[in-house]
Amino acid sequence: MKKFEIPDRYRSSIISRLKEIRKLDDPRKKDFKPTRLNFGPIEFLIARHFGFCYGVENAIDIAYKTIEENPGKRIFLLSEMIHNPHVNEDLRRRGIEFIMDNYGEQFIGWNDITSKDIVIIPAFGTTIEIQNMLAEKGIDTVKYNTTCPFVEKVWNRAGQLGKNNYTIIIHGKAKHEETRATFSHSIQNSPSVIVRNIEETKTLAKIILGEIESMEFYKLFAGKYSEGFSVENDLRRIGVVNQTTMLASETETIAEYLKETIIKKFGIENIKDHFADTRDTLCYATNDNQSATIEMLKEEADLAIVVGGYNSSNTTHLYELLEQKFKTYFVSDADKIVSKKLIYHFDLHNKKEITTENFLPSKEKVVIAITSGASCPDSIVDNVLNKLLSFFNTAKDFNEVLGAVK
């Protein structure tokens, strides 16, 4: 696999060693059990897979090389490079300007961008409309394109399905950059519609089966379907693709539900003519991170901590998994852990940061499950571990503990 040049400030002394130990012990990644780091009064359950994925490392490598190789030039990012505040703020400090926010709201007008400027396309990709507009301005849309190859794989699969007259059902968040980009590519070859979750999928299924009037589709899925979409004609042959940061298990559930719906409508003997198997579009990194988090749910812990950007889709899904069993705290960095008695953390359900007192239980041994999103640097996880360890004076040394890892 390609090696990337990642700034030292994003690397770690602890997590990197731990990942290397696990890699040597399990090179084929068959063991998803968490690693136990027993420091005596505190024990960590570290997820088998977490942190920077291939697509994120590729984007960071290109972005920092672009800065280094183009002194004096204006460099822009279409939107956030990845959904991590520390990475994006560091890029701003180094002179990169952001053209728009995550939802397409512009900070800088297109008329202010010229052929002399560099525009970096983020890991989520961008719409064909924006890509064509940049090309018309004479801006290189290839050299500085950091679109994740697994996102492009989804686009390619959608294109293949479209050429075979399948309608594309996209499992994603309609306003997310990646889903907007995928939708833009998908509609070039196929009618397309976005579903957010299994609830919206069930609604779509009722429309397919005629249990909800077809005209209701246009109200219920307003802003989520392609121009000229015909309920009568465009829901007869379908295939499902996803925003790669969504829960893989939910995408599979959605695909299976729609498959069963198609069987009800056209009969199992005709399934191959009406439903396309698209399991090969699931992102391996998202899948691995989620599988490792699910494996942690088989363990016992006093609480869980998820580290990452609050607007990171893949990170929020890790939180949603862990909160099913543990009291879970979502933090962006170690500074949110103020003391043994106070933590600032993101309330995902109310979309705001809140404080909790006495979050660490008073007991002889505290067990904490920890993971992070695919856009979170390992160095930030290191800082979280060190912060938590600082609250326990009798904790063992890291070298001693890592030496005992098996």
Average pLDDT estimate for 15-26: 90
Domains 54-136 and 149-282 share a fold: no
Residue 281 pLDDT class (50, 70, 90 cuts): confident
CATH number of this structure's domain 8-53+285-403? 3.40.1010.20
Helix axes 248-266, 284-296, angle to 10 degrees: 110
Q: What is the DSSP string of 23-67?
A: HHH-TT----PPEEEE-SSEEEEE-SS-S--HHHHHHHHHHHHHH
List CB contacts of 119: < 8 A, sequence separation 6 or more.
76, 77, 78, 99, 113, 134, 139, 141, 144
**In this structure, are residues 128 and 187 in contact, taking their beta carbons and an 8 Å threshold?**
no
pLDDT digits (tens, 9 = 90+) for 211-252: 999 999 999 999 999 999 999 999 999 999 999 989 888 999
Catalytic sites, residue numbers: 178
- Between the CA of residue 94 and those of 7, 67, 70, 100, 127, what are the distances in Å? 13, 8, 12, 18, 26
Nearest to 63 by CA among 2, 131, 132, 7: 7
- Quote the tokens at residue 8: 């030292």
- Quote the tokens at residue 82: 């990845």
Cβ neighbours around 178 below 10 Å, total: 25
Nearest to 184 by CA among 152, 216, 207, 215: 152
Strand order in the sheet with 275-276: 192-195, 167-171, 238-242, 275-276
Cβ neighbours around 317 below 10 Å, total: 22
Domain 54-136 has CATH 3.40.50.1360: no
List CB contacts of 100: < 8 A, sequence separation 6 or more.
78, 79, 106, 107, 108
List CB contacts of 75: < 8 A, sequence separation 6 or more.
66, 67, 95, 96, 97, 117, 118, 120
Cα atoms in the Cβ-side hemisphere of radius 13 Å centred on 203 = 15
The CA-based dihedral angle spanning residues 315, 318, 319, 322, taken in that order and rounded to the nearest 10 degrees: -160
Buried b (16+ CB within 10 A) or exposed e, 10-31: bebebbeebbeebeeeeeeeee
Whether pLDDT at 353 is above 80: yes
How remote is the C-alpha of 296 from its chain's centroid? 19
Predicted confidence at residue 406, as pLDDT, reads: 65
pLDDT digits (tens, 9 = 90+) for 92-147: 999 999 999 877 889 999 999 999 999 999 999 999 999 999 999 999 999 999 99
Distance of alpha carbon 217 from alpha carbon 205, whole angstroms? 11
The topology (CATH level 3) of 149-282 is Cobalt-precorrin-4 Transmethylase; domain 1 (3.40.1010)
Predicted confidence at residue 151, as pLDDT, reads: 95
List CB contacts of 362: < 8 A, sequence separation 6 or more.
none
Residue 361 pLDDT class (50, 70, 90 cuts): very high
Predicted confidence at residue 1, as pLDDT, reads: 59
Residue 286 pLDDT class (50, 70, 90 cuts): confident
Give residue limits of the domains in the chain. Answer: 8-53+285-403, 54-136, 149-282
Average pLDDT, the chain: 94
Average pLDDT estimate for 358-367: 96
Average pLDDT estimate for 302-310: 97
The CA-based dihedral angle spanning residues 148, 149, 155, 157, taken in that order and rounded to the nearest 10 degrees: -150
- The three-class DSSP label of residue 311 is coil
Report the percentage of the chain scoring pLDDT > 70.
Answer: 99
- Quote the tokens at residue 73: 């030039």
User: Residues 63, 66, 67, CA angle at the centre, nearest 5°?
Assistant: 90
Whether pLDDT at 307 is above 80: yes
Distance of alpha carbon 59 from alpha carbon 122, whole angstroms? 7
* Residue 238 backbone phi and psi in degrees, to 5: -135, 155
- Between the CA of residue 337 and those of 13, 227, 344, 354, 378, what are the distances in Å? 20, 48, 6, 12, 17
